[in-house]
Amino acid sequence: MRKRKILISALILVGGSLLLGGCTLPFLSKSASLQVLSSPRATVMLNNKIVGETPFFNAKMKPGNYDLKLVPVGQGDNIFPYQTQLNLKNGLKAALNWNFGASLASSSGYLMTQEAIANRKKAVLMIISEPSGATVKLDGQEIGTTPLQKENLAPKQYNIEIKAPGYQAEEIVANVEAGYKLVIKAKLGQGGENLQLGELTASPSATPTPAQEVKKIEVLKTPTGWLRVRSEPGLSGEELTKVHPGEKYPFFEKKNGWYQIEYAKGKKGWVSGSYVREVNKNKETQTTPTPTTSVKTTPTPTPSTNE
């Protein structure tokens, strides 16, 4: 089940757990803010100017219209790039999560925007999808089909699932806050699983044996300073432990945007692909993870994750 060209008027999508995996929009600044996540990692361009790579965050965006383009790093012309128009208003908070596919049809993602409304006690959630008519579940309960708007919601964190026949389901974790309207515009990918980090240049392998190449992932910086390891590839999986930015672990399988890693000798679990990257493959004779020194960084005001 997966949660990575979208038309802003109909769908402004991107690619998480967050959001990828899950996201909570930051509200620490009065200026417009933009976060961009993607899988695989991509160069971020705004109005034809390179501004960084994913994961990208800028809490002081000047309000206005932007041409956003994401170009996958190290993939050549093998996968379809992403490009769309963004209209960032003063005070608007936007979190973009895009999963690249071999074609536009197989690519998927979502854009979450949140802005203040007049009623400070009211929480509003709006969901739009491509295709329309997708079934929406809120905390496991079906609430209707897209496009839909739910008002007077209890302010809290929700697990949102958007699903349509013939498409990969999108799973999003988001906060709905009193005094704000959260709009989610999601594009569902057709067919099989989306491409994940490095998938075009290397296929998953079974459990490594001596003299085989051991594939590793490195945990990227996260808003919380750690990343959950779950028993299953999805938000419903039980939390087994936490790993930290900078640590590296062998991985054995990729499924629906999640990586199966060995986080301790003989112990395996799943982490979200939104906050990891594949590192150079080295020939090793063991499968015991060799984490680097844990990087204890202060979380930046970016969306938090529950993945």
pTM: 0.55
148: containing domain:
32-187
pLDDT at residue 237 in the model: 82
Q: Omega into 131 within 30° of 0, i.e. cis?
A: yes
d(CA 53, CA 15) in angstroms, rounded, equals: 13
Q: How confident is the model at residue 195 (pLDDT cuts 50, 70, 90)?
A: very low
pLDDT at 183 over 50: yes
Each residue of 52-83: pLDDT tens digit? 999 899 988 888 889 999 888 876 555 778 88
Cis before residue 155, ω within 30 degrees of 0? no
Do 173 and 236 fall into the same domain?
no
Greater confidence, 138 or 28? Answer: 138
Whether 52 is covered by a domain: the verdict is yes
Is residue 307 one of the residues assigned to a domain?
no
Same domain assignment for residues 137 and 221: no
Q: Do 172 and 224 sit in the same domain of this protein?
A: no
256 sits in the region (left: phi over 0; alpha: psi -120 to 50; else beta) called: left
- Computed over every residue of the chain, the mean pLDDT equals 75
Both 180 and 233 in one domain: the answer is no
- Closest by alpha carbon to 239, among 289, 290, 307? 307
Is the pLDDT higher at 52 or at 224?
52
Regarding whether 180 and 54 lie in a shared domain, the answer is: yes
What's 222's domain CATH number?
2.30.30.40
Both 129 and 247 in one domain: the answer is no
> Running DSSP on this structure, what letter comes out for residue 167?
B
